[in-house]
């Protein structure tokens, strides 16, 4: 069967499933729309949370980041998974017990302030809008490759699908759609990894295959990869070549950024009981680990496959000719995400590190690395083709990549919609609005959010490539400290919380945009470069953790200069934290 037809079958079947679920789970009330009437099973919620969290960045980009940097980018794995430990232990059960629909709802009521609520809404909108750009763009790239349409058409199709199940179903529809999307994306990610692990190591488990012997060399896979990379002038894969200080800060920033992302937190408002919130976080970590423990193997094996494709006889021998390049290279060249330039007109594809060229490059008269473009985001999508796997596996990858992008996009769009309809309209400007009108406003704001996100995907701002790091830095420096102080400090008042959010958010934005020209360095370890003008050598990628510390300091200094929170607020905080009644739903 033709590959295009296979792709169409897999993608079309998955979309039909998502839309069918949305029709079945149509939201009939604001409680349905915002929190699925707090009736989601914790295991189901764990899977939906995993899908909500594992965006196009996790499915498409993360293995590429690891593949072309190695150990240095393990920070993404450590930071993102560590954030769920913080969620399970410190935030999820207490926020569920508070019984609100959104993060700004919690901050506004806990700090008894309209200004605090509005500050939280601003932080949420900035984070969510910047984050959703990458999801819509990723969906457009996947569509353009696998369904052979242009990027604009792909984006519009993605927006139409999200519109149907997000606007119709709200959180209720999104929850069960995300459950289906998790099943699709984890199968799509794992099956190619199993095939490739079998090919390279004879071990069907990629997690173990990474540490097994390479069938070609008879040596450990990672040792083989290290050797071929060093021979080509690249850094060894398993070595640490960056700043340990920035690595620690960046991991911490990702951890607390994860714990502060509003589209992730609102998932824990959907379970029946407080105890279920912690259980959901635990299951989410399990479901995420199924992909995250495979990603390092996918990255390492794909990098080795690329090299052996170009140098089938070994890196000391001649590479393949351009005319003999495999079909997957030809296919991806058509997208513009892969490109070669024959710099010495010898018809061969020479691939090595031009900044540290091996001796044989000069001996053969090679003038530079001829793989002039290799977009890291194509690696997971191209992996089945690189390994020459069956066509149905390629179709499965297409469905999985789209599921990852659309599931997170839906969660982000719901967070944006809820902030506008519930926090701005219902809780701030029009408190007497009816439930029917609020539900209509939620759907209208969702539709506008989708339209705006689609427009941004078609016309991404200059910082689109840095969106994920920016979103995590903002979450880490603004909302996470406010939520932590709201739960664990009875005396923290509204003035302290507001000043803290302003200082944390403002300092992080200022630092990131001051060094914007430096902090995104393509094709390198993003934490390895420390220009002399960085403040104390801190990478802007890592500044979210510093912004969080500044938030806490500013809040507590302000608290010392002002009155403590009122007695009734302190009693409210105490009631959130004490175990009494923790097993019952709290809907006050």
Of 450, 381, 360, the residue nearest 133 (C-alpha)? 450
Residue 584's pLDDT is: 44
| Structural domain contains residue 583 | no
pLDDT of residue 414: 85
> Would you say residue 340 lies in a domain?
no
C-alpha 298/C-alpha 267 separation (Å) is 29
Mean pLDDT of 418-440: 89
| Domain-embedded: residue 343 | no
CA quadruple 522, 299, 306, 8: dihedral sign: negative
- Domain interval for residue 83: 3-302+387-478
Q: Which residues of 51-79 are buried (b: 16+ CB within 10 A; e: fewer)?
A: bbbbbbbbbbbbbbbbbbbbbbbbbbbbb
- Torsion angle of C-alpha atoms 49, 381, 449, 551, degrees rounded to 10: 60
Q: Tell me whether residue 417 is in a domain.
A: yes
Q: What is the mean pLDDT of residues 184-209?
A: 93
* Rounded Cα gap, residues 65 and 84, in angstroms: 21
Side-chain-facing half-sphere of 6: CA atoms under 13 Å: 12
State the average pLDDT over residues 310-329. 91
Q: Range with the lowest mean pLDDT among 49-53, 124-128, 317-321, 465-469?
A: 465-469
d(CA 579, CA 184): 38
CA–CA dist 343, 352 (Å, integer)? 13
Q: Supply the pLDDT for residue 467.
A: 58
The whole-number pLDDT of residue 408 equals 81
Please tell me the predicted confidence (pLDDT) of residue 530: 52
Poorest-pLDDT segment among 52-61, 366-375, 497-506: 52-61
Instruction: Using the structure block, give the residue that is written with the tokens 């001829």.
Output: 370
* pLDDT tens digits for range 65-116: 888 889 988 888 888 888 878 887 788 888 888 888 888 999 999 999 999 9
Question: Across all residues in the chain, what is the average pLDDT?
Answer: 85
Indicate the range of 48-57, 253-262, 285-294 predicted with least confidence.
48-57
Domain with 403 in it: what CATH number?
1.20.1730.10
In this predicted structure, the answer to whether residue 365 has a pLDDT above a threshold of 70 is yes
Confidence (pLDDT) at 469 = 62
Q: What percent of the chain has pLDDT over 70?
A: 93
The residue with greater pLDDT, 42 or 532, is 42
Q: How far apart are CA 235 and CA 233, in angstroms?
A: 7
Confirm whether 309 is domain-assigned.
Answer: no
Measured distance CA(419)–CA(442) in Å, rounded: 9
Which of the 8 DSSP states describes residue 491? S
Tell me the mean pLDDT in the region 175-192: 89
Q: Tell me the pairing of strands 373-374 and 338-339.
A: antiparallel
DSSP characters for 442-462? HHHHHHHHHHHHHHHHHS--T
CA 427 – CA 429 distance, rounded (Å) = 7
Has residue 535 been placed in a domain?
A: no
Do the domain assignments include residue 40?
yes
Q: What is the pTM of this model?
A: 0.84
Question: What is the domain count for the chain?
Answer: 1
For residue 415, what are its two tokens?
Answer: 């967070």
User: What confidence tier does 529 reach under pLDDT thresholds 50, 70, 90?
Assistant: very low
Q: Looking at the predicted structure, is the pLDDT value of residue 423 above 80? A: yes
Task: Give domain status of residue 334, yes or no.
Answer: no
Please report which confidence band the pLDDT of residue 519 belongs to, taking 50, 70 and 90 as the band edges. very low
Q: Between 553 and 387, where is the model more confident?
A: 553
Q: Is the pLDDT of residue 527 over 50?
A: no
């Amino acid at each position: 069967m033709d590959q295009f037809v296979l792709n169409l079958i897999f993608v079309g079947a998955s979309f039909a499933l998502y839309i069918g679920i949305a029709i079945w789970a149509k939201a009939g009330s604001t409680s349905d729309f915002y929190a699925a009437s707090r009736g989601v099973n914790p295991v189901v919620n764990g899977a939906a949370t995993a899908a909500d969290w594992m965006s196009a960045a996790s499915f498409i980009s993360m293995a590429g980041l690891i593949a072309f940097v190695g150990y240095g980018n393990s920070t993404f794995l450590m930071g993102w998974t560590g954030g769920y430990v913080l969620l399970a232990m410190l935030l999820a059960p207490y926020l569920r017990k508070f019984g609100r629909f959104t993060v700004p709802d919690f901050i506004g009521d806990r700090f008894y302030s309209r200004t605090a609520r509005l500050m939280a809404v601003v932080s949420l909108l900035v984070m969510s809008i910047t984050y959703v750009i990458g999801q819509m763009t990723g969906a457009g790239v996947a569509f353009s490759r696998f369904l052979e349409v242009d990027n604009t058409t792909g984006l519009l199709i993605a927006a139409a699908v999200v519109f149907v199940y997000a606007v119709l179903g709200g959180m209720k529809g999104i929850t069960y759609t995300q459950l289906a999307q998790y099943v699709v994306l984890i199968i799509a990610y794992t099956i190619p990894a199993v095939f490739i692990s079998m090919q390279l190591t004879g071990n069907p488990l990629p997690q173990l295959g990474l540490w097994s012997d390479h069938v070609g060399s008879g040596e450990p896979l990672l040792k083989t990869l290290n050797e071929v990379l060093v021979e080509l002038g690249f850094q060894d894969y398993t070595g640490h070549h960056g700043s340990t200080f920035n690595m620690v800060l960046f991991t911490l920033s990702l951890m607390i950024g994860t714990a502060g992302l509003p589209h992730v937190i609102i998932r824990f408002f959907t379970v029946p009981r407080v105890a279920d919130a912690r259980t959901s976080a635990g299951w989410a970590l399990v479901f995420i680990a199924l992909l995250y423990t495979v990603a390092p193997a996918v990255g390492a094996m794909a990098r080795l496959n690329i090299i052996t494709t170009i140098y089938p006889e070994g890196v000391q021998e001649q590479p393949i000719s351009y005319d003999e390049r495999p079909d997957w290279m030809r296919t991806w060249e058509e997208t513009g995400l892969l490109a070669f330039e024959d710099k010495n007109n010898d018809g061969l594809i020479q691939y090595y590190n031009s900044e540290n060229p091996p001796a044989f490059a000069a001996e053969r008269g090679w003038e530079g690395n001829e793989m002039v473009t290799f977009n890291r985001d194509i690696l997971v999508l191209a992996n089945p083709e690189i390994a020459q796997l069956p066509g149905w596996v390629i179709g499965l990858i297409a469905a999985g990549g789209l599921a990852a992008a659309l599931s997170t996009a839906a969660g982000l769009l719901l967070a944006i919609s809820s902030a506008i309809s519930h926090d701005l309209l219902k809780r701030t400007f029009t408190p007497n609005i009816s439930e029917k009108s609020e539900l209509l406003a939620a759907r209208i704001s969702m539709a506008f959010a989708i339209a705006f996100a689609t427009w941004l995907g078609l016309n991404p701002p200059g910082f689109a490539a840095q969106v994920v790091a920016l979103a995590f830095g903002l979450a880490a420096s603004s909302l996470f400290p406010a939520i932590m102080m709201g739960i664990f400090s009875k005396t923290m008042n509204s003035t302290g919380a507001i000043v803290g959010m302003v200082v944390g958010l403002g300092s992080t934005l200022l630092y990131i945009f001051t060094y914007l020209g430096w902090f995104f360095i393509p094709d390198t370890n993003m934490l390895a470069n420390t220009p002399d003008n960085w403040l104390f050598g801190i990478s802007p990628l890592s500044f979210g953790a510093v912004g969080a510390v500044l938030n806490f300091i500013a809040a507590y200094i302000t608290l010392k200069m002002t009155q403590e929170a009122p007695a009734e607020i302190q009693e409210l905080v105490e009631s959130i934290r004490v175990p009494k009644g923790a097993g019952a739903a709290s809907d006050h």
